[in-house]
Structure 1
Amino acid sequence: MPPPAQPREVFILGITLDGRTFRPSDWAERLAGAMSSFRPGGAQQGRSAYIGYSPYCVPNVIGDVKCVVVNEALKDVEPMAWDFVMNFARDNRLQIAEACLVPDAPPPKP
């Protein structure tokens, strides 16, 4: 039996379909912040609550381009949240790429 497929990641790039840089400059942090409550186990409350991004929707910079990395698992957690981020990209004519984020290489041993 083959291993289950890993959820894909969708990169919403801060570049419009006509090649312009998307503004405002903090759009990625705002979008990821709006999705911060969608996390494994649901939103935390009380003393265990903290401010942070959801692992399903994380701002990032690749090269010189701001982006938001959206994990397809968000569809299962909250389909309306998935639709929200995809509609945000479509409505703002942002480029989308399907890929996976490769972890940074460990530092060389001394």
Structure 2
Amino acid sequence: MDRIELATQGQIPGYLIRGVTQRQKVFRPGDWAERLKGVITLFVGERRPGLHVASTRLVMPVVSAGIKCLFVSDELRLICPDAFEFVMGFATDNELLVSGHDAPLIAVVPTA
């Protein structure tokens, strides 16, 4: 079986939308980040060989400190301002906490 190694190669500037409201309540439903990614994919979805569904690298569901979050790349603002406004409006309307955040750029490093 082939092995791969991952390495970080810089940072991706963006925003972290935390699944916690300003009143410190966990946001529901539990799959909100995946649903929101699906909506953003409709705006900017990319088809890749081998994948049967569209995807995007511009928004990514993550877990931070045990809390479901959505990382939104700052690049989304340039590629599709409407999608960026939509996702940030969603956060505002639902009183979700948003902070500037950098994410590591992950790359596959070939192994011998």
5+ residue gaps in structure 2? 1-10, 107-112
Scaled by the length of structure 1, what TM-score is found? 0.75
Q: What per-residue deviation string (whole Å, max 9, x for no partner) do you get for residues 38-89 of structure 1? A: 15xxx439x7763253110111111210000000111111100000000000
Distance across 2 between alignment mates of 1:34 and 1:64: 24
Distance across 2 between alignment mates of 1:53 and 1:100: 21
Q: 1:14 aligns with which of 6, 13, 19?
A: 19
Larger strand proportion of the pair: 2
Distance across 2 between alignment mates of 1:88 and 1:32: 12
5+ residue gaps in structure 1? 1-5, 105-110
Distance across 2 between alignment mates of 1:19 and 1:102: 27
Counterpart mapping for 1:93-108 below 5 A: 93-102=95-104
Aligned residue number for residue 89 of structure 1 = 91
Report % sequence identity: 32
Q: Which amino acid in the other structure matches residue 15 of structure 1?
A: V
48-57 or 24-33, which moves further after superposition?
Answer: 48-57
Scaled by the length of structure 2, what TM-score is found? 0.74
50-59 or 81-90, which moves further after superposition?
Answer: 50-59
Distance across 2 between alignment mates of 1:13 and 1:80: 21
| Greater relative CO, 1 or 2 (CA 8 Å, sep 6+) | 2
Counterpart mapping for 1:1-110 below 5 A: 8-37=13-42, 38-39=44-45, 43-44=46-47, 50-102=52-104
Deviating above 4 A after TM superposition, structure 1's stretches of 4 or more consecutive aligned residues are: none
